[in-house]
């Protein structure tokens, strides 16, 4: 079967890019014997630019003209040799994976922009882009999440369904404590490892989920494990990340983090090597890295020695270091396993923790299926269910190199949204509504477009411009 590609391009005030894009992309596709038509959707009204809606309009016209698949394509992205625009039989495919602007790297792990292939059937399943994002930002992320909801993303798992008992912490009064014993003496001031299997929930009734565009944003750390004082331990924060915090003997604070959505079982492990004076943070057996906004650098070095703590017990789900009525004293979520060793586990041992728990140096051994360490718990609820441990939610990709034409950065600049309040509103819509399941995307997309066509211009035999008002 001969397939026909619709190249769907949102457009406004990029004339120089337009004159480059049409001939170069046209030549690229012709050389590869791809049957195609380019649709430039030009928003000519006075409203804020709506990239999602204009892409949807272009796709609608492409399908009506007989295209059986489309590529949503930014006008400043020019393919280089190797970019694959072939029919994506198995589902949506992100092809702008190596971008000159980013030294031919991804912008971030979940990046789903630049150039994305969809079949007609997958457009129908996802309903295309949302029409609710104006000016700049988040429409690509929204489309990625629609693919996730439709089972069209690369969801990988450390471990699939297994029956597991766990403790439920209510975020208000629940906590546990590992009583101090001789084998815990000096544990965190030398080589050691802490590992916990947990599932965290946000607490928006107490603290807002952290958004870049929120002028009143504040980081909040919910304690998973704590040794109080100069608090040592693991946390889940309102920026949707798992984190590690510790101190050295000079009272220098050290912090590591890894991005993680709430409501996902996660095996987080911290390894401290006294000999190399390094800390290592792992998620599901893989050491975190700083590429694509995924996490902080690991390993992290400290100076001198680690801080010594007195004969304190280890708290689970709380920290006594803050007032009882504090909005960040208690963790909300589930904890299934708590382990600690008085040595640094090897990377291979950390990688295999879901299969085998090393007994050498094991000083805290609490798998709530059969806990061997006595833990005192208060106001917790013992539950049991079949759980899985997801590794990642990522787009399916076909590797492709693209030259990014020069343009003004409209995204994140110096830690702030370049477009200010409009992007902040888009971020709020995506994070607090779309990802929380509050938007029915079947009622927001190609099927609910409202626009008028002012006219169409034939630019070349293979390219047309559709001038529209929203």
What is the predicted pLDDT for the residue at 372?
Answer: 76
The predicted-structure confidence for 338-375, as pLDDT tens digits, reads as follows: 999 999 999 999 999 999 999 999 999 999 998 777 89
4-153+395-469 maps to CATH 1.10.10.10? no
pLDDT score of 420 more than 90? no
The predicted-structure confidence for 72-101, as pLDDT tens digits, reads as follows: 999 999 999 999 999 999 999 999 999 998
Q: How far apart are CA 400 and CA 96, in angstroms?
A: 5
DSSP string of 379-436, one letter each residue: S-EEEEEEEEEEEEEE--B---EEEEPP----SEETTEETTTHHHHHHHHIIIIIITT
CATH number for region 159-392: 2.60.120.200
Q: What is the mean pLDDT of residues 378-403?
A: 94
The predicted-structure confidence for 133-178, as pLDDT tens digits, reads as follows: 999 999 999 999 999 999 999 999 998 899 999 999 999 999 999 9
Q: What is the mean pLDDT of residues 399-415?
A: 85
Domain pair 4-153+395-469 / 159-392, same fold: no
Residue 41's closest CA among 470, 469, 467? 467
pLDDT over 70 percentage in the chain: 100
Burial of 154 (0-12, 13-18, 19+ CB in 10 A): middle
What is the predicted pLDDT for the residue at 76?
Answer: 95
pLDDT score of 413 more than 90? no
pTM here is 0.90
Range in 33-47, 123-137, 254-268, 409-423 with the lowest mean pLDDT:
409-423
What is the predicted pLDDT for the residue at 411?
Answer: 75
Q: What is the mean pLDDT of the chain?
A: 94
For the chain, what are the domain ranges?
4-153+395-469, 159-392
Q: pLDDT category, 254, cuts 50, 70, 90?
A: very high
pLDDT score of 249 more than 80? yes
Count of CB atoms situated within 10 Å of the CB of 323: 8
């Amino acid at each position: 079967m001969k397939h026909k590609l619709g190249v769907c391009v949102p457009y406004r005030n990029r004339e120089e890019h337009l004159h480059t894009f049409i001939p170069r992309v046209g030549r690229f596709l012709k050389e590869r014997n791809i049957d195609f038509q380019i649709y430039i959707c030009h928003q000519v009204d006075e409203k804020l630019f709506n990239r999602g809606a204009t892409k949807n309009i272009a796709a609608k016209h492409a399908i009506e003209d007989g295209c059986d698949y489309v590529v949503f394509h930014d006008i400043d992205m020019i393919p280089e040799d190797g970019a694959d625009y072939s029919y994506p039989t198995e589902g949506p495919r992100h092809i702008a994976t190596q971008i000159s602007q980013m030294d031919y790297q991804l912008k971030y792990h979940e990046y789903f922009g630049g150039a994305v292939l969809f079949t007609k059937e997958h457009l129908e399943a996802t309903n295309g882009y949302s029409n609710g994002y104006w000016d700049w930002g988040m429409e690509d992320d929204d489309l990625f999440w629609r693919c996730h909801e439709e089972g069209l993303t690369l969801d990988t798992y450390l471990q699939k369904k297994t029956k597991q008992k766990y403790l439920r912490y209510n975020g208000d009064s629940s906590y546990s404590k590992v009583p101090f014993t001789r084998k815990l003496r000096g544990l965190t001031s030398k080589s050691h490892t802490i590992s916990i299997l947990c599932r965290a929930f946000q607490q928006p009734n107490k603290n807002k989920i952290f958004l870049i565009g929120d002028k009143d944003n504040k980081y909040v750390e919910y304690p998973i494990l704590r040794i109080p004082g100069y608090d040592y331990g693991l946390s889940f924060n309102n920026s949707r990340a798992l984190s590690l915090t510790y101190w050295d003997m000079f009272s220098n604070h050290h912090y590591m983090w890894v991005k993680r959505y709430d409501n996902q079982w996660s095996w987080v492990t911290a390894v401290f090597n006294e000999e190399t004076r390094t800390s290592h943070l792992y998620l599901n057996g893989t050491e975190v890295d700083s590429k694509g906004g995924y996490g902080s650098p690991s390993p992290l070095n400290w100076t001198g020695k680690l801080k010594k703590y007195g004969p304190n017990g280890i708290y689970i789900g709380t920290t006594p270091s803050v007032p009882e009525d504090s909005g960040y004293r208690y963790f909300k979520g589930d904890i299934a396993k708590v382990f600690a060793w008085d040595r640094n586990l090897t990377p291979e041992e950390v990688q295999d923790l879901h299969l085998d728990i090393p007994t050498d140096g094991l000083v805290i051994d609490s798998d709530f299926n059969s806990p061997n360490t006595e833990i005192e718990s208060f106001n917790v609820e013992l539950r049991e269910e079949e759980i899985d441990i997801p590794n990642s939610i990522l787009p399916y990709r076909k590797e492709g190199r693209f030259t990014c034409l020069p343009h003004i950065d409209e995204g994140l600049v110096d830690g702030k949204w370049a477009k200010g309040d409009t992007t902040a509103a888009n971020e709020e819509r995506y994070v607090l509504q779309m990802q929380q399941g509050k938007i029915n995307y079947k009622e927001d997309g190609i099927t609910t477009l409202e626009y008028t066509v002012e006219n169409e211009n034939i630019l070349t035999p293979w390219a047309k411009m559709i001038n529209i008002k929203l």
